[in-house]
Chain A
Amino acid sequence: MKQLAPALVMASGRRKSIPVRIPTDWTGIIFAVVLSAAVILPLLVVGVWAFTEVWRYPNVIPQQFGLRFWNQTLTRADVWSALTLSLQLSTVVTLLSAAICLPAAYAFARLSFPGRNVLFFSFLAGHAFPKFGLLIAIAAIFLQLNLIGTFWGVVLIQLVGTLLFMIWIPVAAFQSVDRRMEEAARDVGAGPFRVFWSITLPQAGPTIAAAVLLSFVGTFYETEGAWLIGAPGIRTMPVLMISFINNQMVIQYGAVLSVMLWVPSFIALMFARRVIGGGAFARGFGG
């Protein structure tokens, strides 16, 4: 700001002697500080706790750093099996969701059929009611179908959670593909399927990738459904974390698992940035 001010005076040419004061945007600065504190501070505290062995009140800095709790956590077999299970679940749910939702999204975006709008908004229904009530109702049905405590039971319940992202975002993606581009492809000799494969899908690709990623990460962290339907046989990472924290009030266990849980989403985000580029990714979310 300060460097800009003289340049502006120069540009205006005549009034060189009068300093131009650009007002400091205090509101903006306060917002930035509060937001940063709200987002970064808890992360920082959790990050520090994960590598702490002794940290007693009123010390600001831990008395003793160490990897003891990492050792204790990582040597547990249930942590590794939960991590593997979570990754398997997220992958299966995301793939199934894509297989079901993407064709549906295309249909919603491009075709007109009776009941289109009602059906489209019905995908909101899963998010319109208190989630726990819905889950209990579904659990009652699953109990009769012998799906409680099974892998596929959890897959089904988590699938419901992804429908909203995987329908609404791809619908927007397909709708924003320039119809003239598709017509131009028809014009040079491509049939409808070739047009979809070579033009529509690559054009909508970055946005759909964003939806797939959201769905994967969302499923990875999904807790209530996995706990209610999966317990006791199926224990995902977030479920395991809850039981850790509930059973023994050792902050470090929670902190270590939290840091571990960041890893998949962090890798996924890095991967997304590499594959589709920051700009395209932002566009996917309407940025």
Chain B
Amino acid sequence: MSVLKITDVSKIFAGPTVAVDNFSLEVGDGELVCLLGPSGSGKSTLLRMVGGFERPTSGLMTIDGDDITQLPPERRPTGMVFQSHALWTHMNVFKNLAFGLKLRGLPKEQITEKVEAVLELVGLAGYGTRGVNQLSGGQQQRVALARSLVLEPKILLLDEPFASLDQHLRERLREEVRDIQQRLKITTLFVTHGQDEALAMADRIVVMRDGRTEQIDRPDVVYREPQTPFVAGFIGTMNLIEGEVSKGRFARADFRIDIPIPDGPATLAIRPEALDLEAAEAGVAQVHRVTDYGTHGLVDLDLGDGTRLKAMVAHPDLFSEGQKVNLKPQAMAAYRDNARVYRS
């Protein structure tokens, strides 16, 4: 039953570099919120500020109404899982998990009980006596998670916890972590630069760029209705076409399409799955490459001025290199001045 509230938090490093710029967010009880952004977007700095490893230059952070802004990490009710696992290699698994409990002065039997329970929870029952270097990457990550969970933190912080694992393991672990998080109903803040991870795990996604929020929404909304061209380009694959609108008509190279917005420059965004192709002798685009993925195909297109587009097609065998096609977008959005001005 914990709510994390971040209000107008900024972090300016010497330089000066603004890492986080006036950021606000409320993570509801039991909610998993993903901070998503490219490297340098300030997401890790923000997480480290919540964990107490960086002090905000300004702003306020509370957990259940209690001000934690100036507390050192050891006095915060947060548990952090690090990207590098950061397991203590001179201790075995049991000692790694028991360390925090010992610091809290718990009796021995209770420590053993809690450690065994949490090992069971992460699927590592009976691994207590193993050295951490004897474990695989995935097992180490589970121990790192267990080390945080065993202390029953109010807020769980995950800093790119799967970044060092291979794709297959990453997918399995993120499901497990999501399951555990929902079973324990623990309020969680999760940092990642992988959009798949964010889309698969989060209740809400915060897309960050240059220390600022670009959009906060449910994953499906972020995917379907990106509010800025940055979000549009960052989540999923997106064709972003810069062009000019004149008299309600968008133009780029030979490509023309009606968009009812005032004259001026605009960025058109079309998902590959929403871009239909029609073979035509005098088509506006030329097929550059066709890739058959079995379930679907991907056609790379060239607008003739170097602009590259991608279209997802059901029958890739219908298209061949050098062929001319016309573009029939089924859905699209237009952006101007970093805001969405049109959507169909």
Contacts and interface: CB of A to CB of B under 8 A. Distances in A.
Contact of A199 (B78, B88, B151): B88
Q: A interface, by DSSP: helix, strand, loop or mixed?
A: helix
B71 to A, nearest CB: 11
A180 B86 contact: yes
A185 interface: yes
B72 A181 contact: no
B86 A183 contact: yes
Nearest to A188: B100
A184 B86 contact: yes
Nearest to B82: A180
A187 B74 contact: yes
B152 to A, nearest CB: 12
B243 interface: no
B79 A187 contact: yes
Interface stretch (A98-106, A189-197, A214-222): A189-197
Interface residues of B, number: 26
A183 B103 contact: no
Nearest to B101: A188
A178 B86 contact: yes
A183 B82 contact: yes
Interface string B83-95: 1101111100000
Contact of A185 (B79, B84, B99): B99
A202 B80 contact: no
Contacts of B52: 186-187
Contact of A191 (B74, B83, B90, B147): B74
A188 B198 CA distance: 26
A243 interface: no
A198 B72 CA distance: 18
A194 B86 contact: no
A183 B80 contact: yes
Interface residues of A, number: 18
Given A183-B73, A183-B80, A183-B82, A188 B88 contact: no
B104 A189 contact: yes
Interface in B243-285: none
Contact of B88 (A185, A186, A189, A191): A185
A181 B78 CA distance: 16
A79 B290 CA distance: 88
Contacts of B141: none
B90 A188 contact: no
Contacts of A175: none
A203 interface: yes
B90 A189 contact: no
A190 B82 contact: no
Contacts of A181: 86-89
Contacts of A202: 88, 90
A78 B87 CA distance: 54
B239 interface: no
Given A189-B100, A198-B99, A184 B74 contact: no
A189 B82 CA distance: 16
A194 B103 contact: yes
Contacts of A184: 80, 82, 86-88, 144, 147
Contacts of A187: 51-52, 73-74, 78-80, 148
Contact of A183 (B53, B104, B151): B53
B84 A178 contact: yes
B89 A180 contact: no
A181 B53 CA distance: 13
Contacts of B144: 184
A185 B75 CA distance: 12
A259 B296 CA distance: 79
A198 B51 CA distance: 21
A280 B52 CA distance: 33
Contact of B84 (A180, A189, A190, A205): A180
Interface in B83-125: 83-84, 86-90, 99-100, 103-104
B103 A189 contact: yes
Contacts of A188: 74, 79, 99-100, 103, 147-148, 151
A203 B87 CA distance: 11
Nearest to B103: A189
Contacts of A183: 51, 53, 73, 80, 82, 86
A186 B100 contact: no
29 contacts: A178-B84, A180-B83, A180-B86, A183-B51, A183-B73, A183-B80, A183-B82, A184-B80, A184-B87, A184-B88, A184-B144, A184-B147, A185-B88, A186-B52, A186-B73, A187-B51, A188-B79, A188-B99, A188-B103, A189-B75, A189-B100, A189-B104, A190-B74, A190-B103, A191-B72, A194-B103, A202-B90, A203-B89, A205-B90
Given A178-B86, A180-B82, A184-B80, 12 more contacts: A181-B87, A183-B51, A184-B144, A184-B147, A187-B51, A187-B78, A188-B74, A188-B100, A189-B100, A189-B151, A191-B74, A202-B90
